[in-house]
Amino acid sequence: MDSNNNIRNKSDTGEGQPRRSFLKAAALGAAFAGAMLMGAGQAHAATTWKIQSVWDAGTVGYDLFEDWCNGMEEKSGGELIFKCFPAKAVAADNNSLFDSVRSGVLQGMNPFTLYWSGKIPASVFLSSYPAGPDQPHQWDIMFYSMGMLEKTREIYEKFGLFYVGPIQHDANIIHSKEPVNSLDDLKGLKLRVPGGMVAEVFQAFGASTVSLPGSDIFPALEKGTIDAADYVGPAVNWELGFSQVTDYILFGPPGVMSIYQPVDLMDLTVNMRAWNALDPKLQQLVEDEVRIYSQKHYLTIQKRNIEAMEKFKDAGDTVSRLSQEDVDEWRRKAIPIWYKWANKDEDARAIFDIQIEYMMNETVGYIDESDLEGVPGR
């Protein structure tokens, strides 16, 4: 009874005031903390990168890239958004794509690395080339275990760009109106191929080469202005209708789809200022995600290739395969052209030296000292 009276009396006499003051202070503190959290949320608003691919909308390549970009917001906890665009959506051609990323109009691009051979000579060695390393894992080894990634980033930094990493794509193959059963059959062939080193090696075997945009290949084959055309792999080439205008597909020996561009690498490259503005944890996320996407992209394309080859077969197309002897002769012609391109500047030579070391190692054994004897520019 006394106890109850004491409690009531304390309340009546105002001795409970400190508790009310404490509750008011706590409420004010919570409100202040909430305001601080809102401010922090505003300070860490999501970063959005606009990234253009060289894949056309509606292709399997762009569908894969778009899905990957759309997943970045969730993977980054809402801190980073990739807004992707198909070919020509922002930058109208490859030159403007390169310049748009350098200037910051776009924050990133998803190109075929070989596109920059005229701007960055070293880029011819950042994707496969005639008779060079011909397995995807070999390129991952050179990039991620032999210092090629770090050197590539040094080169790209000179252009205000950050090379995030390679993206495995596919081999490039040739579709022709007449069978090509050996390298001798290249003589006089009117052939669409990429320029640069690839064209020079085909020319060494007597082919007449021309460079055409992908959209011009089908009509050129249809009209007969070219006899054959290189492009990407079976999955995309089937979608482009090549079976309607050609009857033969050229592969290398069993296990090798292509001897001239067997590992056609893409990449993710971003504006250096945009990269440096990113939190290091997000930078690491992007690097990790590029490696994951590379595998997913490659494996999906390979599955589609298997399905496409069945379609080519059903349509009556015939596969021709070159022999191992053809590969050896191809390499003998290609090696001097390797060195011609490697000596264009010190960066190209630095990348190439990594690859020569790898190709001469017994774990690979593609070439030895006898292959290099008397080669100009060595």
How far apart are alpha carbons 328 and 321 in whole angstroms? Answer: 14
- CB 210, CB 268: distance < 8 Å: no
**Angle of CA points 220, 221, 223, to nearest 5°:** 65
Q: Considering Cα of 119, then 125, then 131, then 137, what sign does the dihedral take?
A: negative
230 is in an annotated binding site: yes
Q: How many angstroms from the chain centroid is the CA of residue 189?
A: 31
How far apart are alpha carbons 46 and 331 in whole angstroms? Answer: 50
What does the DSSP assignment read for 274-341? HHHTS-HHHHHHHHHHHHHHHHHHHHHHHHHHHHHHHHHHHTT-EEEE--HHHHHHHHHHHHHHHHHH
115 is in an annotated binding site: no
Q: How many CB atoms lie within 10 A of CB 288?
A: 12
How far apart are alpha carbons 335 and 126 in whole angstroms? Answer: 17
- CB 171, CB 264: distance < 8 Å: yes
261 is in an annotated binding site: yes
**Residue located via tokens 């009209």:** 223
56 is in an annotated binding site: no
172 is in an annotated binding site: yes
- CB 142, CB 355: distance < 8 Å: yes
In the chain, what is the straight-line distance between the N-terminal and C-terminal CA atoms, in Å?
A: 106
Which residues belong to the annotated binding site for Na(+)? 231
Query: Which residues define the annotated binding site?
Result: 172, 192, 230-231, 261
Question: Binding site membership for substrate: which residues?
Answer: 172, 192, 230, 261
